[in-house]
Amino acid sequence: MLVFDVQDDGKLSLVRFRGDILEGVETVLAGIPAAVQRTSVRFDCEHINYINTMGVGAFGRFMKNFGATRQLEFVRCPQSFIEHAMMVPSMVGGGRVTSLYVNFECPSCRRHRLKLVDRSVMKSHDLFPNEPCPGCSKPMHIMLDADALDERFLG
Ligand SMILES: [Zn+2]
């Protein structure tokens, strides 16, 4: 199941998730509005592990409602979170993804590398930075539809 904790940095509320987004997640999420004081809310998604479609539905319904009156930002999103959010955009409640884990794969030797990529870096490198393969030095590819990602969450 999912748990969260909340910190206040004076300007925004930081909500850190840990665990899984599964059916029944709405009972956990229901505790967030009372715990968050700011209208700017940053969600740290790094420690979200397993996600299923039932959980995605409930998560999206909550965020759509919660984001209607707040500015939401999602940081350190795992690739599974991004993949689900591309199918169910309400998962980010009208907010923005400002950093995410990207899985790079080498087309030549099939090595993988997971890298945290910041939105500002994506923009300055035409979405994603070139990532040389640690094994053979050839440019690695990403496993996400970068154009769709940019349109939905990074604009
Ligand atoms: Zn390689």
Segments making up each domain of the chain, as ranges: 3-154
Q: What pTM was computed for the model?
A: 0.89
114 CA → ligand 1 middle, Å? 14
Tell me the two tokens of residue 110.
Answer: 């099939």
Residue 140 C-alpha to ligand 1 middle, in angstroms?
A: 7
The predicted pLDDT at position 130 comes to 76
Please tell me which residue, 132 or 62, carries the higher pLDDT value: 62
Compute the distance between CA of residue 143 and CA of residue 35 in angstroms, rounded to an integer.
36
Measure 100 CA to ligand 1 centroid, in angstroms: 22
Q: How do residues 65-115 score in pLDDT, each as one tens digit?
A: 999 999 999 999 998 999 899 889 899 999 989 899 988 889 899 999 888
CATH 3.30.750.24 fits 3-154, yes or no: yes
pLDDT tens, 44-61?
Answer: 999 999 999 999 999 999
Bridge-based pairing of strands 40-51 and 71-75 is: parallel
Q: 104: phi > 0 → left, psi -120 to 50 → alpha, else beta; which? A: beta
At 126 the pLDDT is 61
Cβ atoms within 10 Å, residue 129: 14
CA 102–ligand 1 middle distance (angstroms)? 16
The more confident residue out of 80 and 151 is 80
At residue 62, φ and ψ (nearest 5 deg) are -65, -50
Q: Are 96 and 151 in contact (CB under 8 A)?
A: no
